[in-house]
Structure 1
Amino acid sequence: MKYIRKILLFVVLVCCFLSISEQAMAAKATKFYEYSNAKGITVINYHSFGDYKEIANINITEKLFREQLKMLKDNGYSTITEEQLIAYLQGHGRIPEKAVFLTIDDGYESVYKMAYPILKEMGMQATLFVIANDVETGARKNVPMLNWQQIKEMSDSGIMRIGNHTYDLHWRGNNDKSKHEAMILNQKKNGEPLTNEERLRYIQEDVTKAHQLIEKYTGIAPKSFAYPYGVYDRIAEQAIKKAGYTIDYSTQGGYNLFGQGTVHIKRIDSSNRVSAHELKKILEKNYSLAEQQYRQRDIQVEAQVTSNKVTLKAWLKSDMNKGPLQAKETRFELYKMVNGERQLQRDFGSYCVTANKSTRVMSTEENIAKYEAGGYSVKAIMIKQDGSKEVFWINFNK
């Protein structure tokens, strides 16, 4: 009997070890994946290159631009493509821990003459947002603009992705005063008044016209939009969405986090007012803040992985104090590792699980017995009552 008890105890211990190991492996895999990924990314925005008195506040000299890019290289930063940025912000793409993304607004001729050669020389990429009407007329505020031939050459090179910055909605009313930007102003450029409904159509038609011109002259339809002056309201947002854009850029400073989504991407402005050393300090600060915010994430996910089933539980730390409910729902998606990248397969388990006051921990599970051999991931997307999101990954092998 004594030996039988020892054997039973041994079996129980082995089973517990295997169960704990499987969970630990899942957690370790997730931790490894996310810790080898950037916690946040800074988008650096430029405008004009050179020394134009008419737009002195947005100029950057050729020398300083080169110094800034050299600083990035010397400090281990690499630029990424817009596809990489989008995948990262959607929560299924990896980028180097020290990555930056470059954008350029408006479309001044100096982009082609100064910025483009330096980017090419240094092996870096950027997205250029053009104001199509100013390209058509050839000037903005008496400063020469790019022409379509130059834009196409840069687009064809792969160094410059072309984005939409409206056809002719980059202006302010009331004698060019702030808070009278065209995107939020219920009037046309000629002063004709617009209702909210008319303004929605007006913006959509303008953005669509710019979209068609960019596609006509470059052969590639733009996928992203940058708000003029970074200004928008509910109607402007609806118009941009109706025009087919799900990726847009603001001028709000700061950094962007893994999985936070592609609406109102934050950017920091760079010009002659920012030295290479100051830009380095901004990037280091953003890097540190993103690390800290990542460690303090509210979302928590627990995984139980066996050879036949994966069970997941998701909750918010802030919802465990029985205060007002913060979580709204959690969505679960299944990804498979293909050539080292996660590829979305389909919804996982009960896909969308809603939270309520009595059910603050949201659970889902799926039988994986018939899965093909390979590496898999489940993406848990926690949507909060305020509309914000947090993302957590669980990796497992079959």
Structure 2
Amino acid sequence: MKKIFIILAIVLTVVIIIHRNNLQPNKIPKMVPVLMYHHFEVDKNDSNEMIVKKSEFEKQMRYLKNNGYTPISMKELKKFVEGRSDLPKNPILITADDGYLSNYNIMYPILKKLNMKATIFIVGNYIDNAGKTNSKLPKLTWNKIKEMYDSGLIGIGCHTYSSHVKGDTISGKMGIFSSPLLGETKKEYEKRINNDIEKNINAIKLNLGYQPISFAYPYGDWSETSEKILKDNGIKFTFVASGGKEAYIQKSYLLKRVCVNGSYNMEDFKRELAKQN
């Protein structure tokens, strides 16, 4: 009987080891490209680099699809980092910042047609006040966000509640979420940004029934203090705006993104994408 138990224990150990090995990222690229968008227009009439023309965006998405890239969600990335699932051969993250209405009118229909996933990082007070103030760039409403979220294609992340502004901080002119304002104590700063991210998270939970796990820093500005507070509030992934090879799947914080310039043609897009491989 004792021998039987020993044999069973050995078999069970082997099964566990095999299972763990199957979850290791040996066959997965060492980095996941992260694309960053903002606003879209049908016909682009200005030189704003943050605005991407509808036809160009569709060409870019079709290129990804036709060349074996698989857009993934933050939930899928989280499962992989935790060792609970694998990733496809050529994973990629598609992200859009701020929460513009064009994400619903232009970006979403294209992604839906191609069955591709993306994450929108929303500024909470933009959404809560959508339609209440005059704006050259209309913002999303919660109803439209929920429709996209319920499709299973669009994930929602945080982009602060009301701190997407630059101000005079002890570190210079930069995003006020990532540094104390002049005259503000460290304790006051910590309380301010903790209240901000809590409000951002709670707005998403209230309207979508979902605890967001990702955060994109406005302007790409960050600090060790802001990182700690985000982690304390359940954020698993943080993103900055700087370009370069990333996002390393061995890490979860301060992941770099490639800002897709509105002036890019397809050759430019392919060249930037190739740098990530």
TM (normalized to structure 1)? 0.58
2:102 paired with 1:110? yes
User: Aligned equivalents of 1:105 and 1:219: distance in 2?
Assistant: 21
Equivalent residue for 2:64? 72
Equivalent residue for 2:185? 195
Amino acid at match of 1:88: F
**Does structure 2 conserve the Cα–Cα contact (< 8 Å) formed by 1:38 and 1:95?**
no
Equivalent residue for 2:272? 282
Equivalent residue for 2:40? 49
Equivalent residue for 1:147? 141
Equivalent residue for 2:111? 119
Structure ranking higher in strand proportion: 1
Residue identity (%):
30
- In the TM superposition, residue 35 of structure 1 has moved relative to its aligned partner by 4.8
Structure 2 unaligned segments of length 5 or more: list them.
1-16
Cα-Cα RMSD? 2.7
- In the TM superposition, residue 179 of structure 1 has moved relative to its aligned partner by 3.7
Secondary structure at the counterpart of residue 201 of structure 2: helix
User: Aligned equivalents of 1:140 and 1:115: distance in 2?
Assistant: 22
User: Aligned equivalents of 1:53 and 1:206: distance in 2?
Assistant: 35
CA-to-aligned-CA distance 1:165-221 (integer Å, 9 cap, x gap):
1110000125xxx8421123423xxxx832111101100101101111111112222
2:255 paired with 1:261? no
Q: Which has the higher contact order (CA 8 A, sep 6+)?
A: 2
Amino acid at match of 2:148: M
2:108 paired with 1:81? no
2:225 paired with 1:231? no
TM (normalized to structure 2)? 0.82
Report matched runs for 1:6-17 at 5 Å: none
- In the TM superposition, residue 77 of structure 1 has moved relative to its aligned partner by 1.3
Number of aligned residues:
253
User: Aligned equivalents of 1:140 and 1:199: distance in 2?
Assistant: 30
- The structure whose Rg is larger is 1
Distance 1:85 1:55, change over 3 A: farther
Amino acid at match of 2:56: L
Secondary structure at the counterpart of residue 40 of structure 1: coil
User: Aligned equivalents of 2:47 and 2:219: distance in 1?
Assistant: 14
Amino acid at match of 2:136: N
Distance 1:141 1:238, change over 3 A: farther
**Does structure 2 conserve the Cα–Cα contact (< 8 Å) formed by 1:68 and 1:275?**
no
Structure 1 unaligned segments of length 5 or more: list them.
1-25, 288-398
Amino acid at match of 2:102: S
**Does structure 1 conserve the Cα–Cα contact (< 8 Å) formed by 2:99 and 2:127?**
yes
**Does structure 2 conserve the Cα–Cα contact (< 8 Å) formed by 1:38 and 1:96?**
no
- In the TM superposition, residue 101 of structure 1 has moved relative to its aligned partner by 1.1
- In the TM superposition, residue 279 of structure 1 has moved relative to its aligned partner by 2.1
2:125 paired with 1:133? yes
Equivalent residue for 2:27? 36
